[in-house]
Structure 1
């Protein structure tokens, strides 16, 4: 029969816990950020009288919500700068996607690395400025996590509602 030394069991248990602890801490921290983000977008919706049917959260920093009956879009960005936007879609004629890429090349290929993705709201009135809502910033993140698809989805949805 196989004998297991109690010291080895205790040491391996301690090392396993020490290895898993940072992951558990990071997961809890991210869950807390997401709860705060959901609470803040809910508070924003209540203060503007909107009841968003569609909401999306990404990277524990961004939230977007749409109340199609009122034609109101809610946007929230928590970090690195805190930005809250409530947009009345009746004031806009179109939504465009801005994608900025950095090109790098090696001997055989040219690579396009995403730097910035945003939704740009074009106002009906020429005197008003465009409203830009950031979806992805390459300065903050090293990779995309579906932000291109997210931007295309929201641009298509919003352009249907605006027309």
Structure 2
């Protein structure tokens, strides 16, 4: 079976034409991820912290300084960037918040409607200080869930471990 030059040329061009969009999309996503990570590291540096663990999900990044117990959040929004830095030593709890939305015609049964919002709530030890809420997913943004629930559960658990570790260290002192 022989392969002539014309067939090889057409096959090569077709391969490039089909793979190029995937390569360009990957490079664009990598660039966005690096920009978010750089922004998160800059945010941490302003608090005198370093990012030890981080995770990127679509348009936001979360990170944590495990030694100083700080949580950082940076999101790209239509208006620019939204950022939060939270001292875990000042918290009473960190909780995952999941709200369901109701489906049209479901008669009030909102289990069929999917998720309206997923986020983290950081509750301060000081009752005079309001809780800090980070929205990781909002259905009004017109996109689908892409791991935000798992990310929220993971990072809430990590924040709780660090928060409790600092509480124990403070009590032992």
Q: TM-score w.r.t. structure 2 length? A: 0.78
Q: 2:52·2:64 contact (CA, 8 Å) conserved in 1? A: yes
**2:142, 2:4 → 1: CA distance?**
46
Q: For 1:1-163, list aligned pairs within 5 A.
A: 2-59=1-58, 61-80=59-78, 81-104=80-103, 111-140=112-141, 142-163=143-164
Q: Which runs of 5 or more structure 1 residues have no equivalent in the other structure?
A: none
Q: 1:66·1:74 contact (CA, 8 Å) conserved in 2? A: yes
Aligned-pair CA distance for 1:105? 7.4
Aligned-pair CA distance for 1:133? 1.1
- Would you say how many aligned residue pairs link Structure 1 and Structure 2? 160
Give 3-state SS (helix, strand or coil) of 2:145's partner. Answer: coil
Q: Which has the higher strand share?
A: 1
Per-residue deviation, residues 59-108 of structure 1 (Å, max 9, x unmatched): 2x22112223322111111233411111112332112211122233799x
**1:10, 1:34 → 2: CA distance?**
36
Q: Which runs of 5 or more structure 2 residues have no equivalent in the other structure?
A: 165-173
- 2:171 is aligned to none
Give 3-state SS (helix, strand or coil) of 2:64's partner. Answer: strand
Q: TM-score w.r.t. structure 1 length? A: 0.82
Give 3-state SS (helix, strand or coil) of 1:139's partner. Answer: helix
Aligned CA-pair RMSD: 2.5
